[in-house]
Structure 1
Amino acid sequence: MKAIVIGATGTIGSAVTKTLKESGYDVIPVSRNSSIKADIEDEGSLDKLLEQSGKVDAIISTAGFAAFGELSKLTGEDFRRSLNSKLMGQVKLLQKGLSYLNAGGTILLTGGIFAHKPWPGTAAIAMVNTGLEGFVRAAALETDEDKKVIVIHPPLVAETAVTLGMDASPYLSAIEVGKFYLEAIQNGKSGVPFLVQEKK
């Protein structure tokens, strides 16, 4: 089986890449800085990537920017970039990727838990994640029955909590979250959001 992981050098992306490889996937790791390059905000680079990769069994995106910040301090540019990057970048990837997906294949986009459990300072992120969920629900209605389109909502991971100066103990590690991506590919249902179970 062959899979593309976009955002493969990120915290979650690297964990997803490792998990898929260990599960027998031939993984094409993609980022803006890897040997195989693509930028979720650059449609041309996505076209080139898909043409070079050919038919695949899974396309996974863990890429895309969305702004953290207090509502009163978020700028128009913060919102525009969040929409252009994490939302529209993944929308375009799904649109383009469907024709490169083998029968039985899955396109998995990354939203985030803030779509369902927002924190203060996550207005822009929650907006994007919720938009992705609505988009995928509707896109599934126009997707061939032998292909799946799913949005996964991971929680904050322990590694990111550390970076933010938070206690990491309440959060799953990236590699633990990566295993949920594999589960979503294998057992998720098209159009149904896949919520990662948070650490108890």
Structure 2
Amino acid sequence: MSISNPVDFTGRTVVVTGGTKGIGFAIAEAFLGAGADVLVCGRGEPLALPTAGGRTAHFLAADVRDPAAASGLVEHAAASFGRLDVLVNNAGGSPDADAATVSPRFVEKIVALNLLAPFYTAQAANRVMQPQESGGSVINIGSVSGHDPQPGTAAYSAAKAGLLGLTRALALEWAPRVRVNHITTGLIRTENAAAVYGDDGGAAVARTIPMSRMAAPGDVAGACLYLASGLASYVNGADLAVHGGGEFPARYLAVQDGARAHGPESRAVEGATTLDR
């Protein structure tokens, strides 16, 4: 780490799973811009790879739900660059599904992608990082669903809650050489998720967030740079919330909507009633 630039990753190697699109793409670009050699993976080769500072990420096709593929990804990075300093377990996600009718196969796939795959890649990364004098950093990208499940996310929420537990357990076992941390992400506006947030471009959704906007992928990327850097050298087993303050309680939003509907006089009365409770 450079004293003048604490997020200088020149000469360091970073692996980002699912780094070919969305949040992972932004994370890979951030590390490239900070000077790192970056390897991204996906199940199929993308049309374009992350690029920053005149440099481009390397790519390896890998389905990290397969333990052998996860291990091969890490081994490829170590063999290609001679070391591995940072692993970002970003690959994950799930479509909504009714818990009452969802198939066992669906549940198994969601848990494999969001919990087992990070375990497999972290395990392989630890084998490389432990002998290194500088150790290493593992960052698991989680979700607010792991704390506050939403309808249609039973398998996903359970897996993400497990990822947070896994982070804390590995942080206990692998320190001091390898630090393991977790980022709780909130609503993030990516191209793939845009349709989910409504025809208003997400304006209504943004009103539920204290920061008055959804996160951009770069917000998560910046948090990754911090956790992987020397600035966070004593941060281990942490859950860093990158969700804009969470979401306002439904009761609060209902009162605000009612106030807007009835005008200034009702707003004053309803506000006083809220304080009295």
What TM-score, normalized by structure 1, do the two folds share? 0.89
For the residue of structure 1 that corresponds to 2:183, the secondary structure is strand
Letter in 2 for 1:107: V
Asked if residue 98 in structure 1 is aligned to residue 141 in structure 2, the reply is no
The residue number in structure 2 matching 1:79 is 107
Moved >4 Å (runs of 4+): none
For the residue of structure 2 that corresponds to 1:56, the secondary structure is coil
The residue number in structure 2 matching 1:31 is 42
Give yes or no for contact 2:65–2:117 (8 Å, CA) kept in 1.
Answer: yes
Range 112-121 or range 130-139, more displaced: 112-121
Give the superposition deviation at 1:60.
0.9
Q: Distance in 1 between matches of 2:150 and 2:244?
A: 15
The residue number in structure 1 matching 2:33 is 22
Q: Distance in 2 between matches of 1:88 and 1:131?
A: 9
Q: Provide the aligned C-alpha RMSD in A.
A: 2.0
The alignment of Structure 1 onto Structure 2 pairs a total of residues equal to 200
The residue number in structure 1 matching 2:237 is 191
Change (3 A) 1:127 1:24: same
The 5 A counterparts of 1:1-200 are: 1-34=12-45, 35-54=59-78, 55-101=83-129, 102=132, 103-159=134-190, 160-166=192-198, 167-169=201-203, 170=206, 171-186=214-229, 187=232, 189-198=235-244
Larger radius of gyration: 2
List alignment gaps of at least 5 residues for structure 2: 1-11, 46-58, 207-213, 247-277
Give yes or no for contact 1:66–1:83 (8 Å, CA) kept in 2.
Answer: no
Give the superposition deviation at 1:71.
2.5
Quick one: higher RCO (CA 8 Å, sep 6+), 1 or 2?
1
Letter in 2 for 1:168: G
Give the superposition deviation at 1:199.
6.5
Give yes or no for contact 1:104–1:146 (8 Å, CA) kept in 2.
Answer: yes
Give the superposition deviation at 1:30.
1.9
Q: Distance in 1 between matches of 2:85 and 2:38?
A: 10
For the residue of structure 1 that corresponds to 2:116, the secondary structure is helix
Give yes or no for contact 2:184–2:243 (8 Å, CA) kept in 1.
Answer: no
Change (3 A) 1:161 1:48: closer
Letter in 2 for 1:162: A
Letter in 2 for 1:145: P
Give the superposition deviation at 1:74.
2.4
Q: Distance in 1 between matches of 2:100 and 2:220?
A: 32
